[in-house]
A and B are shown apart, each in its own frame.
Chain A
Amino acid sequence: AQKVTQAQTEISVVEKEDVTLDCVYETRDTTYYLFWYKQPPSGELVFLIRRNSFDEQNEISGRYSWNFQKSTSSFNFTITASQVVDSAVYFCALSEGYAGNMLTFGGGTRLMVKP
């Protein structure tokens, strides 16, 4: 069975600090997909990134970067120079190739960025 663990339930940083959100996953499938979503205080779920199991390249998008390591089953998310607007709950998620793309979410990490 698939499982996603986000060990950090809450993180608090001061604006301009860098912060890394951890995500560890478990799957027996060789084909799977990993995602990060952001849920700001307004409540909507915003897609951030998708990675498939065959692509271990790290990705950078502005202040956001992602580190995918199959050897440790981790897909970590780093925000550089955090801003107050980054305050949100961040979810890591996994879908397996055969499971109809149903996402299994981690428990989420609440990030609070203080001015």
Chain B
Amino acid sequence: DTAVSQTPKYLVTQMGNDKSIKCEQNLGHDTMYWYKQDSKKFLKIMFSYNNKELIINETVPNRFSPKSPDKAHLNLHINSLELGDSAVYFCASSQDRAYEQYFGPGTRLTVT
């Protein structure tokens, strides 16, 4: 069984569009995250979220917003896509803040 899954795996879209990436974890974890990996492989945290608290990396544009329908899901919604949003986006989850994070397979977003 896949622990952390993301859909879609690839997403190609045009500038100005709005898109969402879905993430689901079946590990029973309380906390979920979104990371962005750029073309140089640099990984940056975007959000940390559990059912009580959302922590946003201050460098993330407000065009990006996480949406959590329940504890097992944390979707990433992006408005008005820009060329610079092209990257691989990883979802992750952890049992608690002291524990390791398990990552989804990533979603490669290409904005044309």
**Residue on B with the closest CB to A101?**
B97
Among A17-25, A43-51, A59-67, the stretch that binds chain B is: A43-51
In the complex, B26 has a CB within 8 A of chain A:
no
- Tell me which residues across on chain A come within 8 A of B57, comparing CB atoms: 102
Instruction: Identify which of B40, B42, B96, B97 contacts A105 (C-beta below 8 A).
Output: B42
Is there contact, CB below 8 Å, between A107 and B42? Answer: yes
In whole angstroms, how far apart are the Cα atoms of A93 and B33 in the complex?
15
Q: Which of A64-115 contact B (CB under 8 A)?
A: 89, 91, 93, 95, 97, 99-105, 107-108, 110
Knowing A99-B55, A100-B53, A105-B44 are in contact, say whether A43-B100 is a contact too (CB < 8 A).
no
Distance of B59 from chain A, by nearest CB (Å): 12
0/1 interface trace, chain B 77-112, chain A, CB 8 Å (1 if under): 000000000001010101011111111011000000
CB-defined contacts of B100 to chain A, threshold 8 Å: 35, 47, 50
Give the number of residues in A that approach B within 8 Å (Cβ atoms). Answer: 25
The residues of B that contact A99 with a CB separation of less than 8 Å are 48, 55
| Chain B residues with CB below 8 A from A44, complex form | 103, 105-106
Of the candidates B40, B53, B90, B94, which one forms a contact with A45 in the assembled complex, judged by CB atoms under 8 Å apart?
A: B90
**B98 closest partner in A (C-beta):** A33
A101 touching B105 by the CB < 8 A rule? Answer: no
Contact B43 A105 (CB under 8 A): yes
Task: Specify which chain B residues have a CB less than 8 angstroms from the CB of A5 in the assembled complex.
Answer: none
Of the residues A33, A35, A50, A101, contact of B31 by C-beta under 8 Å: A101
B41 & A89 in contact (Cβ 8 Å cutoff): yes
Contact A100 B99 (CB under 8 A): no
With both beta carbons as reference points, the residue of chain A lying nearest to B99 in the complex is identified as: A50
Q: In the complex, given contacts A39-B41, A45-B106, A47-B100, what are 10 additional A-B residue pairs having Cβ atoms less than 8 angstroms apart?
A: A33-B98, A44-B103, A45-B90, A45-B92, A50-B100, A101-B94, A101-B101, A105-B42, A105-B44, A107-B41
CB-based closest 10 A-B pairs: A101-B97, A100-B48, A45-B103, A100-B55, A105-B43, A102-B45, A102-B48, A50-B100, A47-B100, A108-B41
